């Protein structure tokens, strides 16, 4: 593959647009990058690493992987992938996934595991003197979260590209927020990123998966629908909502 393919150039352009629009990165930033082993977070790490080679803003990247504790984990293989990219991966072994899927948990296992994972990412970042966390959520994730919250939380909300936590002590950024999942999938294939099998028993059978399937069927009826949904989230007419 050429070093800078059309797919990468498009992703880089959209990442740059998101970074500038939402003021995500400043000179001197130390940024933790939450890795899952999937195509999105690996694309995020690669894109941010390549981007800093060509811009005047300097920032440092620190990839972190929270191992949920299932057998068949891939922390070692992911660490090797990061090493080949020039990074030392911090692997944190937990039992979050096991506890979340045990009879002791009465909540949605994915919700609880995700909450614990983010909490642990904050804790590790804090111990490293880092106050900014980059996550690999993409455009499809933003749209799916909107529908998840409408259908299962009874509210109109979604994840945002830049979000402050703990009264501004930490900032979460999502540089891939404008990038379609399909484009990321194509790029990951071009770069030949390794594919890790997710050992989580809930993989592919979550409410998010159901929403994703529903939206995919909708998208096939009109190619403008995804873009319209995404744009609608920044064009809200409050006077036409219930109060």
Average pLDDT over residues 4-26: 95
- Percentage with pLDDT > 70 across the chain: 98
- pLDDT, one tens digit per residue, over 166-219 is 999 999 999 999 999 999 999 999 999 999 988 888 777 788 999 999 999 999
In a domain, 111, yes or no: yes
Would 169 be classed as within a structural domain? Answer: yes
Task: Note the pLDDT of residue 51.
Answer: 95
Would you say 36 is a known binding-site residue? yes
Global pTM reads 0.93
Q: What's the whole-number average pLDDT of the chain? A: 93
Task: State how many domains the chain has.
Answer: 1
114 assigned to a ligand binding site: no
23 is in an annotated binding site: no
Whether 180 maps to a domain, the answer reads yes
**Beta carbons within 8 Å of 52's beta carbon, 6+ residues apart:** 58, 59, 61
Kindly tell me if the per-residue pLDDT of 131 is higher than 90. Answer: yes
pLDDT of residue 1: 47
- Pairing relationship of beta strands 132-134 and 90-93 according to DSSP bridges: unpaired
In a domain, 86, yes or no: yes
CATH of the domain at 173: 3.40.50.620
- Specify if 39 maps to a domain: yes
Asked if the structure places residue 218 within a domain, the reply is yes
Averaged over 62-91, what is the pLDDT?
A: 95
Q: What is the mean pLDDT of residues 211-229?
A: 97
Evaluate if residue 232 carries a pLDDT over 60.
yes
Q: Is the pLDDT of residue 2 over 60?
A: no
DSSP the chain: --TT-HHHHHHHHHHHHHHHHTT---TTEEEEEEE-SSHHHHHHHHHHHHHTTSSS--EEEEEEEEE---TT--HHHHHHHHHHTT---EEEE--HHHHHTSTT--S-HHHHHHHHHHHHHHHHHHHTT--EEE----HHHHHHHHHHIIIIISS-----SEEEETTTTEEEE-TTTTS-HHHHHHHHHHHT--------TTTT-SHHHHHHHHHHHHHTT-TTHHHHHHHHTTS--GGGS--
Asked whether the predicted pLDDT for residue 231 surpasses 80, the reply is yes
Residue 1 lies in a domain: no
- For 38, the domain range is 6-240
66 in a labelled binding site: yes
- Residue from 169, 147, 156, 153 nearest 214 by CA: 147
**What is the structure's pLDDT at 187?**
97
| 136 labeled part of a ligand binding site | yes
């Amino acid at each position: 593959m050429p070093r800078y393919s059309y797919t990468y150039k498009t992703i880089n352009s959209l990442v740059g647009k998101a970074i500038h629009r939402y003021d995500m990165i400043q000179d001197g930033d130390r940024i933790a990058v939450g890795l899952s082993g999937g195509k999105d977070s690996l694309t995020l790490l690669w894109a941010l690493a390549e981007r800093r080679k060509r811009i005047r803003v300097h920032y440092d990247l620190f990839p972190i992987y929270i191992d949920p504790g299932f057998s068949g984990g891939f922390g070692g293989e992911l660490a090797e992938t990061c090493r080949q990219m020039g990074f030392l991966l911090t692997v944190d072994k937990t039992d979050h996934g096991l506890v979340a899927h045990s009879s002791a948990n009465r909540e949605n296992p994915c919700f609880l595991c995700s909450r614990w994972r983010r909490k642990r990412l904050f804790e590790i970042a804090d111990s490293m003197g880092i106050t900014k966390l980059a996550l690999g959520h993409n455009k499809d994730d933003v749209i799916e979260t909107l529908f998840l919250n409408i259908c299962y939380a009874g509210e109109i909300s979604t994840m945002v590209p830049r979000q402050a936590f703990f009264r501004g002590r930490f900032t979460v950024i999502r540089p891939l927020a404008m990038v379609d999942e399909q484009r990321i999938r194509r790029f990951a294939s071009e770069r030949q990123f390794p594919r890790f099998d997710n050992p989580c028993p809930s993989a592919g059978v979550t409410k998010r998966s159901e929403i994703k399937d529903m939206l995919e069927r909708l998208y096939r009826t009109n190619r403008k629908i995804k873009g319209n949904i995404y744009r609608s989230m920044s064009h809200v007419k409050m006077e036409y909502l219930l109060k």
